Amino acid sequence: MDQQQLMDMLTKILESQNELGKNQEALNKKLDKIELLIENDLSKKINALTDVREGQKELSELAIAVRKISKHLN
């Protein structure tokens, strides 16, 4: 290989590395977006489960109160 061929090969290698770097940055941005979407989704689901749990607790307390009232009326 002569010097020009080596320079051409080195240029192609550097261009490929540059392209890989750009692709890596694009992938990282997409992964960051996916991570945010997952975090938001999990947060919504946790909040919904918390609301359900609080609702169940309120219903349980109401059921206990109804039983107590029922016992007093009988």
pLDDT per residue, tens digit, the chain (74 aa), is: 799 999 999 999 999 999 999 999 999 999 999 999 999 999 999 999 999 999 999 999 999 999 999 888 87
Task: Supply the pLDDT for residue 46.
Answer: 97
* Structure tokens given for 5: 């061929």
Task: Give the C-alpha separation, 15 to 66, whole Å.
Answer: 76
pTM of the model: 0.63
Q: Which domain holds residue 38?
A: 1-73
Task: Supply the pLDDT for residue 72.
Answer: 86
Total number of domains constituting the chain? 1
* Structure tokens given for 58: 């309120």
